[in-house]
Amino acid sequence: MKIPDTLKYSKEHEWVRKDDGDIVTVGITDFAQSELGDIVYVEVDTVGDQIDKDEIFGTVEAVKTTSDLFMPVSGEVLEFNSELDESEGDDPALINEDPYEKGWIVKIKMTNAEEWDDLLDADEYKNLVS
């Protein structure tokens, strides 16, 4: 199981990467995708919406279950990964294949920079899932 040291993590198994200033990329962790199994659909209909930390911003459907996606930091959802989008690339399996790069889910403009410090580092996340 991969847990990159360069990312931050939520207790709900999302990872967060700072891209540029207050813009971050969010996805689900390798642990989360392995627990879900084969992902067949990702729904994010919150692009353009302001979402508070810990609120639901979308769902991931696997063969046997559906799981909510929780916002790891407050912010505006700027973009949904078009490669995962049913109307565009439609390849949700990218999350299973490459959860930390090609399988990213959304880009967010953070509105509360202090919440970044509340996220788990790699070691804290490893302790959570071990």
Domains and CATH numbers, the chain: 13-113 (2.40.50.100)
pTM, to two decimals:
0.94
What pLDDT does 51 receive?
97
Task: Give the alpha-carbon dihedral of 31, 33, 38, 40, to 10 degrees.
Answer: 170
DSSP H/E element including 67: strand 66-70
Q: Is the pLDDT of residue 48 over 80?
A: yes
pLDDT per residue as tens digits for the range 9-21 = 999 999 999 999 9
Euclidean distance between CA atoms 72 and 53, whole angstroms: 5
Euclidean distance between CA atoms 36 and 61, whole angstroms: 8
pLDDT per residue as tens digits for the range 74-129 = 999 999 999 998 777 789 999 999 999 999 999 999 999 999 999 999 999 999 99
Euclidean distance between CA atoms 106 and 53, whole angstroms: 14
What pLDDT does 121 receive?
97
Closest CA to 79 of 55, 57, 112: 57
Structure token digits, residue 12: 């709900």
CB-based contacts of 128, cutoff 8 Å, min separation 6 = 9, 11, 120
- Work out the pLDDT band at 29, boundaries 50, 70, 90: very high
